[in-house]
Amino acid sequence: MKNAARMEWIKLRSVRSTWWLAVAAVASMAAAGTGVGLGYRSHTPIATAAQILDNSLSGAILAQLLLGALGVLMVTGEYGSGMIRSTFSAVPRRRIVLAAKVAVVGGAALAVGLAGSFAGYLGGQLAIRGTAIPAASLGDPAILRAVLLTGVYLGATALIGVGLGTIVRHSGAAIGTLFGLMFVPMIVAGLFGESGIAVGRFVPLLMLLNSIAVTAPIPGLFAGWVSALLMCGYAAVVVLCGGVLLRHRDA
């Protein structure tokens, strides 16, 4: 397992798309936070610390797709180039290969997700300096929890990407599926108005915007940590499905 993980780590950091996607994810979070802070500088009435934080983390909407694509490409890139055959020759136990990819991508995406989350927070806070808007301190448990759980959510999205890449084995189709899974359920839940909350609390993007990346979840939704665990559960299910198919299909 250790050798397989080392091999996957070398692959991950040697591909240029990894760095581009990681940088873009952090930059999108920072840009969203800064834009929100600048927008609220002249806002009337004066925004609260919670409003600034909740909106500063909205860059996660784009960052989740970027990190999800990173997870997809970690698998589909090898299928596209044919390198997957060499990988399975070096490590015949396919479950070990998948576990190594999950460990490497999960760890890297969690680090990038947390970096992006803190970048969004700092961007918003720096943009409101010198105004009457109260600062959101990381010493406040609700503030810190939202920042940390947003990073966890982004890391879980990358693992969903790994699972989808293993299932679909085609970059475009897997990324398209990821996009659909993130946005289509939210649109469907929105068609039912307030009655859709019972279903919406299980929808990834609604969990992010109304439960995870906020200081207090809206009524009817799970607590932030429950939503984050649910997202990790989704990732585990998708990866397990990919593992079953990986074991029984030809490379």
- Residue 31, domain extent: 2-248
Q: How many domains does the chain have?
A: 1
Q: Can you give the pLDDT at residue 251?
A: 57
Show the tokens assigned to 127.
Answer: 């943009």
Q: Which residue has the tokens 């998948």?
A: 98
Determine the pLDDT at residue 250.
65
Residue 162: per-residue pLDDT:
96
What's the token pair of residue 227? 């939503």
Q: How far apart are CA 249 and CA 94, in angstroms?
A: 11
Give dist(CA 101, CA 88) in Å, integer.
Answer: 13
pLDDT of residue 173: 94
What pLDDT shows up at residue 114?
A: 97
Local confidence pLDDT in tens for the 251 residues of the chain: 777 888 888 888 888 888 999 999 999 999 999 999 898 887 778 888 888 898 999 999 999 999 999 999 999 988 888 788 887 778 778 888 899 999 999 999 999 999 999 999 999 999 988 888 888 889 999 999 999 999 999 999 999 999 999 999 999 999 999 999 999 988 888 777 777 777 888 999 989 988 898 888 888 888 999 999 999 999 999 999 999 998 877 65
Q: Which two tokens stand for residue 116?
A: 């992006």
Q: What is the pTM of this model?
A: 0.93
